[in-house]
Structure 1
């Protein structure tokens, strides 16, 4: 499937419908309908997952609406042979199963071939490489020496555990003061929003980086003409990691992982860590406490002090 190819095509849901091929047009209509229910990074991830699946079917000369459960499981085995992680394969299968469930509900197909697809067992422990206390301290010291954008981004990722999409999507207008806390309003995964407190170090780093700017995105590219992208963010993190003398291959997500693992070691209750990280399926007590005292109890203050103790 190549959504950029046109032949008297019509754009529907950011996908091109090729009128010269009725079968392909039917597929594209179904994909566009399924994707219409999503937005942001979820939309992009599902689009890539389906593009990979339909491309695999094309190479095998299979009609996407004439497949069996065995074909989906063969695709999973093929993905394993390509060295894909179990978590990646599980996510792709989830997208494929969601797509065929939608097609069955909309009566595009008579039967859902994915109904009983076996998913790969997931590891209970995360395979993401993180930084320990001393490494996290050294990383932040190096970020502080660089200052500016690097320091501000490093603090938000490492001391607040933000997802990179949350940090890059943050706006200057969403910085505020709430009951004595410096705060930042962010958009979370799954169309959620949250107001998070900023440790003094993070607030100071952001103020120094933003300078005289009054509006717009907090993190902008080198010449200030557009948004800082994920690839540039990853390069910043790798550069700081190398400068700090850390040999691990660290990504922006690794800093979120480091925050989540450092917080319990620093004495933060697990419930508060889950709340700060915005993990799915929060417990009832977390919902109850969300509006009361969560800023005072936020792990960013404890983790910031905990890490600073190792970097002196």
Structure 2
């Protein structure tokens, strides 16, 4: 007989899938899929964040920032970045990059499991979860309301530096007061993976055809992942770039979401140059849904060209 908590989780997931099949609940969004050689990458929405502009870009030149937002038809007080979770289907694996925010971060996020069901994905079929970093909107969806790991059949992979940062007991005290909950939440959730996590270094082939790219700065061990096997490589960028206009037109501007703003800016500049030079495709976690496109040079800066 299955343990009660396992039965409850199974019933909960079955109920979600049945509801998604019967009708698309309000707020769910269609997934988007692209082919990479023999694999298919699907972008599944976890909803969106609601962030004050004053938090996101406190040290950017404010007059120029406001003008850029207005030019792009955006509000000047609040940003609403999408959350795009990439899922890569290969011949023998179903690989997720990050796991969304779960139910306890922001009401506007945490939609991943419902949207996965709508896109035809079952959490039980996920073979691998590869983390870009440990921020709440990328990690907190790991565990459900019953303190069960949602992707129960998956292997989990994280860069060694990122893992050691969040698992360090001193990280909570070292974080600014407004971000201590980030560290508490990360430590609570990563404890579930203590005995099973696969740690890797920059440059490693994490899984076949998936190259780990050091994009630290946003967090101490933030990783992006270059997917090889298609006609052009594709980068899963995580939060290396977080805004479709600002991160490309003014990549040197510091952002409030980067733990090390100076290093984050240097990482953006290096990465944008590589993407434009290699003509690689890009999917960004917080770029406009589904987050996919290319990087082109525009004078001394860059621009994001959405796919399709």
Please state which band the TM-score falls in when normalised by the shorter chain: under 0.3
Q: Normalising by structure 2, report the TM-score.
A: 0.25
Name the structure where strand makes up a greater proportion of residues: 2
Q: Normalising by structure 1, report the TM-score.
A: 0.25
Work out which of the two has the higher radius of gyration on C-alpha atoms and give 1 or 2: 1
Name the structure where helix makes up a greater proportion of residues: 1
